Chain A
């Protein structure tokens, strides 16, 4: 079945540092890829998505590019802020499985001032 693997955390960075959270996937079809963010005490929110190869999703300074050749969807941000501290989940949705979301394990990001 489909699966998502993302780097283990926690990731601890200083404010204004560059962020990369790696995500790779395995899928039989042509999935859509997502990054969700979960702030403390809140539900998951869609951060960005990409629906086909070479698409770049972007939002709030975060970016991720759908790389079919490396089956990856790494999340990046050029300059993190304390307010970015949260748990980040990579996920995929495959039409072959009824568009259900398959999540990675989540990566805790802690940004220090």
Chain B
């Protein structure tokens, strides 16, 4: 299967600072990437859908000004947590959807980024 990377794998930051998380599809092009948040012992919750070259679509209850998403190329999407607070501490996971007709529309997941806000 295809590979999706995330960077960094772990980040600790101070309250009020911004943190950028990168999601890359390493060996395939992805027109659509998804960003999820996973709380301890809970499931993945979809935050937003990111389409290359257009604005992201956010799920209900997700603040778009707080979680800035940029999908500038077919292999890279970034999530920036702005003015982070302790309640933003979580595990953030991205996935990438291959181009139509490739990999049978399967989503490939990154390994996740653990964000801790002090």
B1 interface residue per 8 A CB criterion: yes
Q: Is the CB of B1 within 8 A of A99?
A: no
Interface string of A44-59 (1 = CB under 8 A from B): 1110000000000000
Distance, CA A1 to CA B107, complexed state (A)? 21
Distance, CA A101 to CA B96, complexed state (A)? 12
Which of these, B1, B6, B110, contacts A46 with CB under 8 Å? B1
Q: Is the CB of B34 within 8 A of A100?
A: yes
Which residues does B use to contact A, with CB under 8 Å?
1, 4, 6, 34, 41-44, 46, 49, 93, 95, 105-107, 109-112
Q: Is the CB of B34 within 8 A of A43?
A: no
Residues of chain B lying within 8 A (CB to CB) of residue A61: none
Residues of chain A lying within 8 A (CB to CB) of residue B44: 44, 89, 101, 103
B60 to chain A, nearest CB (A): 10
Distance, CA A44 to CA B49, complexed state (A)? 18
15 contacts between A and B (CB under 8 A): A41-B111, A42-B111, A43-B112, A44-B109, A46-B1, A46-B107, A89-B44, A98-B49, A100-B34, A101-B34, A101-B44, A101-B95, A103-B43, A106-B41, A106-B43
Q: Is the CB of B111 within 8 A of A101?
A: no
How many chain A residues have a CB neighbour from B under 8 Å? 17
B31 to chain A, nearest CB (A): 12
Residues of chain A lying within 8 A (CB to CB) of residue B1: 45-46
Tell me which residues from 22 to 51 in chain A have a Cβ below 8 Å from any Cβ of chain B. Answer: 36, 41-46
A105 interface residue per 8 A CB criterion: yes
Which of these, B41, B42, B109, B112, contacts A45 with CB under 8 Å? B109
Interface centre among A36, A43, A45, A103 (most CB of B within 10 A): A43
Q: Is the CB of A101 within 8 A of B46?
A: yes
Distance, CA A100 to CA B60, complexed state (A)? 14
A90 to chain B, nearest CB (A): 10
Distance, CA A100 to CA B105, complexed state (A)? 11
